[in-house]
Chains A and B, each alone.
Chain A
């Protein structure tokens, strides 16, 4: 999933980019309004994160122009402007959400996931992708970015879903590290074994009953990971 981030502050832009990438999204970044419009027209992102106060063209105008060509694409405003009128203007222009600075990573993640669920739900209506996959006693709902064990609901990232979907698809077989990187990080990503290990450890902590003795994501030393039914 590709997200366009338009933000003039370099550090905020890079920080958001890092958060989104860790969640499993592809990102394209713009440091002003004009660049955001250009990237939107050329890169066709799945949704857009827009700052309001940007050089050249402000976020409101960018949103207005995006809405002229695409009424469906989700747009989230990120701004230090927290007055009600600012939010109302943004939402009136067709924005789907409004994140006020200073924000926490959890808040951004929660809102991005909410938007992703809507996108996936819409996309799922058009294809025959499974609504639910089962990994032992864990039910995973890819379009909802959730898994369930008993009554416990587990919130998952897009990358987690992709990894679990891939393992489920290749169940009984070893999925090597490169495949996982290519499928879940993107082909442009420079592989770093530590990154994958860290992510798998985090995922295990979320979905495994005992992360130290994993039953769903098993390690195949020196090769990759495997899911056995």
Chain B
């Protein structure tokens, strides 16, 4: 296979702005088809990118024989259904996070993936941000000593994304199934990727006004290694990237130092009691190479490109993708466990 024939299912914001451009730019892929239930949107996006094969139903696309792989960029509720169908017909899948709406659906997907020889990757693109990669390297090489605490915090627009009218905010929030589902899955994955498996979880939620989903969440996590974690997420309409940059962070405190890695990149702050530069300057801000720290979203956009490149490499080399369905279920288990904990009013074990 010289290049992978790809179809993108879901032409909303994430599909249009990240997956479609990244597949078009990558020489290892050929974007041949688009799919969306909204015919007008499908026509507009298809015209914009010059994609002629357009489908309103995902089954038609999967059975068309046109694609080797699909990228699922639909709302969360449809992820597992499409992923299962694609897996059954032997098509490689890149599924946006979270893997499914609940654990049962996710387990069905994982079982199906295990029985088929396909490449299945979950879209945790934050893992591909170079500052998070560097943060993980620093933690693993003991540059901050033994980690004792990890905190992940995101203040993000969520349903307030530009283009959503005020009357549609609640519908959009419910489509996203709450802010912990929307944002917490990323943090849950970064936590497990950096620190290891979580053991139990305890959570509290604040409602998104007028809806029955959460708009604010705080989650306490205890890991198998006894490291403690805290996830704090909220949807707020604060677009100024610089003004809220301190509120979008993965902070790891170790016995000999500290890392604050900007959630959306491109930089991390590093402090170590052993470093002469830290002794003089306190914490220093580091940007790994290849990113223009002045361009808004440069790092985030590159993370999608890198994620898609790794997905294509895994298909072409018949190797395991860097983020597997098991990683997807591990993050989902933490998120679902947090909701269960809030309902029961006590910590919930995750294993």
Co-assembled chains A and B? no
